[in-house]
Chain A
Amino acid sequence: MDPTTHVNWGNTAWMLTATALVLLMTPGLAFFYGGMVRAKNVLAMLMQNFICMGIVSVLWVIDLFSIAFGPDTLGGFIGDAARYFGLHHGADLWSTGNGVPTTIIAAFQITFAIITAALITGAVADRLKFAPFIVFVTAWSILVYAPIAHWVWGGGWLAQHSVEDFAGGTVVHINAGAAGVALTLVLGRRIGWPNERMRPHNVPFVLLGAGLLWFGWLGFNAGSELAADQVAGYALVNTIVATAAAMLGWLVVERIRDGHPTTLGAASGLVAGLVAITPACAFVSPLGAIVVGAAAGVLCALAVSLKFKARIDDSLDVFAVHLIGGVVGALSIGFLGDSAINSAGHDGLFYGGGFLQLGRQAMGVFSVLAYDFVVTFLIAKAIDKVMGLRVSRDVELEGLDINLHAESAYDFGAPATHATTPVVAAARTKVDA
């Protein structure tokens, strides 16, 4: 097959770019989370995010893409694992309907699988062991992420029931949020929580990370059109304006409830907006996107207090921001969906579509939530039984960085710098000899 007759150069160039944009989101997320933990655990937090880039990329190329996006098997549960095994199928991989080589779609989708696994880490900050976490990410990507991606995006049973999720409200955010809560329940609360104060150690990192997320998210949402066209334009502008509205919504709640609008609130609000507009970005109008964003900003800001009532140590509010934000976004399509924006979408309740699409969306939310929560809980319990998922009390109190990675993030003190000399000299001697 001659690729030049099948490749759409404009679409392909955009998808190459969008893939790079989304890949940057995971380092952004690492800093968003890393700034919120205490200084003794910041490297462990960054590492949990970066290692997802390591594990998930390899798994995805070997077979997860095929399981998620291969032709439908098992009644819409997973894709055909043999079809794209190893991404080595010659002519099969030349082009999709949009004229974009399938290899690029596979690469674009790697970045989604990575960040979904990485998002979970925020719920269980400061207490995860490293090797068991790698086993968890592996099992979770195979048993939870790939099947759910197939259900919604790979032509699986939810797609067959017209559940709409443009860029990952169910697949990414409800999925990661529910998994985070399940994992927290298996691991338990941090020592001292909620009485001991666990302030963010570096709020500027949080804002830097949030900024990188917003930047990369333009590729996440507008790239999910898989083409450089009108719908991608709506996804792009909606991703900007819903995020802006959510930041404002969160800050208004803080001003009224706490007295001050905070920088951490601005960062949290904008991420809540990104989450909520993700499923809806190509199905609602820009004014609809403002409504979705503002609703997410307000509701997610109010939801952060629930963990204290439930006494569940969802350390960095994955439930409040990702699960609640994802539900707001997924259901918003049922209210604000407008087929004039995207002919592939359906009209919601406010656009004359009645309750039909809202019902479909609710089914999508519930199915993903229930399957993910149960399977994640079982995976985590099994790994906890065999390997132990949680670090020892001593390690937790002293800090994960020094104990799990033999490093410390910050070296501002002169005594610490000078005290390292003998060990370094000894190591160098060995190398030179």
Chain B
Amino acid sequence: MKLITAIIKPFKLDDVKAALEAFGVTGMTVSEASGYGRQRGHTEVYRGAEYEVDLVPKIRIDVLTDDADAEDVIDVIVKAAQTGKIGDGKVWSVPVDTVVRVRTGERGVAAL
């Protein structure tokens, strides 16, 4: 099993969610995140005083999949989240040892 984490632009959440649902992903966890990559932050101006805002708002999506679907899910997310502009985000996956469904106690792929 794999845990796929995607950091995307907030306004791309609906597109990514719809694409994952169309692909057959049945659940995900979405959280608000802040961060920066190569684009760094942005500049804001209040009464003439400039502020470098380093951390920009992002959305973090976590999806658990079986090993076979992992690469396809990553592709689906990247395709849906892409604008081609700097700051589009990143997607990565890590191996997962154990998954348990709290309601039933099912373990492993059956719990996905």
**A residues touching B (Cβ–Cβ < 8 Å)?**
194, 197, 199-200, 254, 257-260, 262, 264-265, 268, 301, 304-305, 308, 317
Contacts and interface: CB of A to CB of B under 8 A. Distances in A.
Interface pairs A-B: 3 shortest CB-CB: A197-B51, A304-B47, A258-B45
A166 to B, nearest CB: 28
A254 B49 CA distance: 11
B33 interface: no
Contacts of A199: 44, 46, 51, 53
Interface residues on B, range: 10 to 19
Interface in B43-101: 44-53
A418 to B, nearest CB: 17
Contacts of A305: 48
A258 B52 contact: no
Contact of B48 (A197, A200, A304): A304
A317 B46 CA distance: 12
A314 to B, nearest CB: 11
Contacts of A268: 47
Contacts of B44: 199
A262 B49 contact: no
B48 A257 contact: yes
Secondary structure call for the B interface: strand
B53 A197 contact: yes
A236 B47 CA distance: 28
Interface in B6-53: 44-53
A124 to B, nearest CB: 17
B60 to A, nearest CB: 16
Contact of B47 (A197, A260, A317): A317
A305 B50 CA distance: 11
Nearest to B54: A197
A66 to B, nearest CB: 40
Given A254-B45, A258-B50, 19 more contacts: A194-B49, A197-B52, A199-B46, A199-B51, A199-B53, A200-B46, A254-B48, A258-B45, A258-B48, A260-B45, A262-B45, A262-B46, A264-B46, A265-B47, A268-B47, A301-B48, A304-B49, A305-B48, A317-B47
B30 to A, nearest CB: 14
26 contacts: A194-B49, A197-B51, A199-B44, A199-B46, A199-B51, A200-B46, A254-B45, A254-B48, A257-B48, A258-B45, A258-B48, A258-B50, A259-B45, A260-B45, A262-B45, A262-B46, A264-B46, A264-B47, A265-B47, A268-B47, A301-B48, A304-B48, A304-B49, A305-B48, A308-B49, A317-B47
Contacts of B49: 194, 304, 308
Contacts of A194: 49
B56 to A, nearest CB: 14
A199 B46 CA distance: 7
Contacts of A258: 45, 48, 50
Most chain A CB inside 10 Å of its own CB: which residue of B45, B46, B49, B53: B46
Nearest to A320: B47
A199 B44 CA distance: 9
Contacts of B53: 197, 199
Most chain B CB inside 10 Å of its own CB: which residue of A254, A258, A268, A304: A258
Contacts of B46: 199-200, 262, 264
A268 B45 CA distance: 14
A199 B52 CA distance: 10
A134 to B, nearest CB: 29
Most chain A CB inside 10 Å of its own CB: which residue of B44, B48, B51: B48
Contacts of B48: 254, 257-258, 301, 304-305
A197 B50 CA distance: 9
A304 B47 CA distance: 7
B42 to A, nearest CB: 12
Nearest to B52: A197
A141 B70 CA distance: 70
A300 to B, nearest CB: 10
Contacts of B50: 258
B10 to A, nearest CB: 16
A76 B45 CA distance: 47
Contacts of A308: 49
Contacts of A197: 51-53
Nearest to A197: B51
A53 B51 CA distance: 35
Nearest to A302: B48
Contacts of A254: 45, 48
Nearest to B47: A304
Contacts of B47: 264-265, 268, 304, 317
A35 to B, nearest CB: 11
A257 B49 CA distance: 11
A32 to B, nearest CB: 13
Most chain A CB inside 10 Å of its own CB: which residue of B44, B47, B48, B52: B47
